[in-house]
Structures are given as structure tokens and as C-alpha cells.
Amino acid sequence: MTRAWMAGGLALWWGWQTAQYVPVWNTPLSLAMHVVQVAPSKPRALLNYGTMLVVHGQLSNARTAFMRAHAMAQAPHVPPYDRTAVTESATENLRAVAVLVASARARGWTGVYP
């Protein structure tokens, strides 16, 4: 009887945990946003979040995320390999966002303001 109660309790707990994280795993953007909230001092989290923002057409917010990731990569707690990788990726992504914005403006699209 005790094992049945334990198994039932464990199943309820797993169900509750699953329900808590369904919104987090709903989209890649919501997952990336959650990772930034859980690990705010990790520049790679911001880099990934910025990438998801680009995918969703939020270029201004993506630019901000890439700039923050670049700045955060210089912090003393960031390992050298992360510092280099994030700095290079953030720089390349900022260039790409600038190209996307210029292209959008050349086509007369509105609402693109990084």
C-alpha cells in the first residue's frame, strides 16, 4: 500500500511540474526568455535569446540582447572561451541585424527600428 501511495504522489508531483513548464517549452522564444530569467549573468543565454528575437522579427529587441551579451561577455566571471565566442557571435549578429534593418528600410517596411 505504501508503494502505491508513493507512486501516486510521485505521479502527481511530476504532473504538477510538467504543467508548470509547459508555457516555458511552448515556443523556442519562450524557452530562450526563460533561460535568460533563470541565468541572467550568462551571456550565451542572451545571445540565444537575441537569435530567437531575430527569428520572430523583433530586430530592435534582438539588437539590445546582442549588445547586452557583448557587454556581459567582458565580465570577469565569464570564462575566456565563452568571452571570445560570445564577443565574436554578438558582433556578427549585430552586423547581421544592421543589414536586415537596412534591407527592410530600403524596401519601405515600417516598424523596423533598432
The arithmetic mean of pLDDT across residues 2-7, rounded, is 80
Residue 41 included in any domain: yes
pLDDT tens, position by position, 14-61 = 777 777 776 767 888 998 999 999 999 999 999 999 999 999 989 999
pLDDT tens, position by position, 57-107 = 899 999 999 999 999 999 999 999 999 999 999 999 999 999 998 988 888
Residue 49 included in any domain: yes
Residue 13 included in any domain: no
The CATH number of residue 87's host domain is 1.25.40.10
CB atoms within 10 A of CB 37: 11
Closest by CA position to 61, among listed 85, 39, 38, 36: 36
Split into its structural domains, the chain has a count of 1
Question: Tell me, what's the pLDDT at 11?
Answer: 77
Residue 94 included in any domain: yes
Residue 80 included in any domain: yes
Question: Tell me, what's the pLDDT at 77?
Answer: 93
Residue 79 included in any domain: yes
Question: Tell me, what's the pLDDT at 71?
Answer: 97
C-alpha 98/C-alpha 111 separation (Å) is 14
| Domain ranges, residue 97 | 27-106
